[in-house]
Structure 1
Amino acid sequence: TTYRDFWRRSLKLASALHRHGIGKGDTVTVMLSNTPPMLEAHFGVPMTRAVLHSLNTRLDAAVIAFQLDHAETKVMVVDREFANVVGEALALAKVKPLVIDYDDPEYPTDAPYPKGEPIGSLDYETFVAGGDEDFAWSMPDDEWDAISLNYTSGTTGNPKGVVYHHRGAALMAYANTIHAGMGKHAVYLWTLPMFHCNGWCFPW
């Protein structure tokens, strides 16, 4: 993909979220591997001034349900690879978010862990296609506004939530670029899950 196409898809995602009532301070939760929608969420969600909540793909249903309720999730994007555990979590959770299914075309059909059946009311590609690439996104009202919400894994009790703000995410992104020596045409092998501390802000 090109950066131009990535930019357009992020705008369309933001527009589609906005049309579904998502705005400043609302939580959009994703249960995704390092796939294009995960990267698009890191840009499209902040374009609406909403807060991105990336779930650890290794958690069980009870912990996921706790996070969904605590984060007050309004929209959830879930890869069908994780549909079964997320379906269980949604049954336990008090919140009833709009659920959007993502069907990863590169997920192997002969994988030892088969895809679950769709659990949402919309398909991700259809949802994004309904957005406007001319969406009038805006910068945050304040650099201290929340950009993302991350949780501990809950090994010693209920997970603890930590909020990133736009200022901190930007500073970390700049620091990563300098520290990693990423030049103009850097080739970077990605291995860190983007759900982990938003990939240490490398997506940004």
Structure 2
Amino acid sequence: MHDSFETGLPQNSANYTPLSPITFLKRTAFVHPHRTSVIHGKHRWTWAETYIRCRRLASALSKRGIGKGDTVSVIAPNIPAIFEAHFGVLMTGAVLNTLNIRLEAETLAKIFEHAETKVLLTDREFSPQIKVALSKVKRDILVIDIDDPETESGEYLGMLEYEAFLAEGDPEFEAVLPEDDWQAVSLNYTSGTTGIPKGVVYHTRGAYLLATGNVLAWEMPHRPVYLWTLPMFHCNGWCFPWTITML
């Protein structure tokens, strides 16, 4: 049966845009550039500064050949780097894989292999188990060390430190938006309590809708001050990195 409402009304860039949580950051940086985005110890950033840092991360990753379909893993507590990865990694079209900091080396190695990790951002605090995990992996992984000034750190495992890596990036990098709503943006794993960890994929539409749904479910006000107690490695912090940015 012919549907007259589809005649002359094909889907195109003028009437359809895939939903993506990275658009929250671009808007907030434009509307509230001078408002505080992140406080970590003595360090403070504005939304404009956070946007630049995320664009630098995306650019630096892109220069290393990272793009759609690639996996970037991150193991870190709730620090700025893991928050920035929720945008910078996605801006390349790649998939973010946040890792449970309590996992042992053998499990981490299996995740690196299964996820086909190409880049690992690792807080030096977890260098003991990461060093062992990497020794068990049969693939090449670019390791970027995160040197968190708020904690005692372990040894360097990679060739680059996170801030130096950001410095390689272009602050004007244009984000690569998803081609459709079904494109993967995040890969999370179970903790392996009942066997080998199992991967769960978020698509860009799901991440966007859950982030907005948090506002309704928790009756959140505009411009909240959010204390990061929920780990961002746990289901992407229930998508709150994107929710808080949106508000």
The two structures have a TM-score, normalised by structure 1, of 0.95
Equivalent AA in structure 2 for residue 4 of structure 1: A
Equivalent AA in structure 2 for residue 133 of structure 1: P
Equivalent AA in structure 1 for residue 220 of structure 2: M
Q: Deviations for 1:99-144, whole angstroms, at most 9, x for unmatched residues?
A: 000110111x4xxxxx221001111000001100111212101111
* Residue in structure 2 matched with residue 112 of structure 1 by the alignment: none
CA distance in 1, matches of 2:133, 2:147: 19
1:167 to partner: Cα distance: 0.3
The alignment partner of 1:88 has SS state of helix
Q: Does 1:25 align with 2:63?
A: no
CA distance in 2, matches of 1:40, 1:157: 31
1:14 to partner: Cα distance: 0.1
Please, which runs of 5 or more residues in structure 2 have no aligned partner? 1-44, 243-247
Equivalent AA in structure 2 for residue 124 of structure 1: Y
* Residue in structure 1 matched with residue 182 of structure 2 by the alignment: 144
Equivalent AA in structure 2 for residue 149 of structure 1: L
* Residue in structure 2 matched with residue 181 of structure 1 by the alignment: 219
CA contact (8 A) 1:9 1:128 kept: yes
Q: Paired residues, what number?
A: 198
Equivalent AA in structure 1 for residue 90 of structure 2: P
CA distance in 2, matches of 1:13, 1:187: 25
Corresponding residue to 1:103 among 118, 125, 147: 147
CA contact (8 A) 1:29 1:54 kept: yes
The two structures have a TM-score, normalised by structure 2, of 0.79
Structure-to-structure mapping, 1:90-169, within 5 angstroms: 90-107=134-151, 109=152, 115-169=153-207
* Residue in structure 2 matched with residue 7 of structure 1 by the alignment: 51
Equivalent AA in structure 2 for residue 97 of structure 1: I
Q: Structure 1 residue runs of 4+, over 3 Å off?
A: none
Please, which runs of 5 or more residues in structure 1 have no aligned partner? 110-114
* Residue in structure 2 matched with residue 170 of structure 1 by the alignment: 208
CA distance in 2, matches of 1:5, 1:138: 19
CA distance in 2, matches of 1:172, 1:161: 19
CA contact (8 A) 1:79 1:104 kept: yes
* Residue in structure 1 matched with residue 115 of structure 2 by the alignment: 71
Segment of structure 1 superposing worse, 82-91 or 183-192: 183-192
Equivalent AA in structure 2 for residue 36 of structure 1: P
Name the % identity: 57
Equivalent AA in structure 1 for residue 181 of structure 2: E
1:185 to partner: Cα distance: 2.7
Q: CA RMSD in A?
A: 0.8
Equivalent AA in structure 1 for residue 237 of structure 2: G
CA contact (8 A) 1:38 1:194 kept: yes
The alignment partner of 1:203 has SS state of helix
Q: Deviations for 1:48-75, whole angstroms, at most 9, x for unmatched residues?
A: 0000000100000000000000000000
* Residue in structure 2 matched with residue 57 of structure 1 by the alignment: 101
CA distance in 2, matches of 1:133, 1:196: 29
CA distance in 2, matches of 1:9, 1:63: 31
Equivalent AA in structure 2 for residue 62 of structure 1: E
The alignment partner of 2:73 has SS state of strand
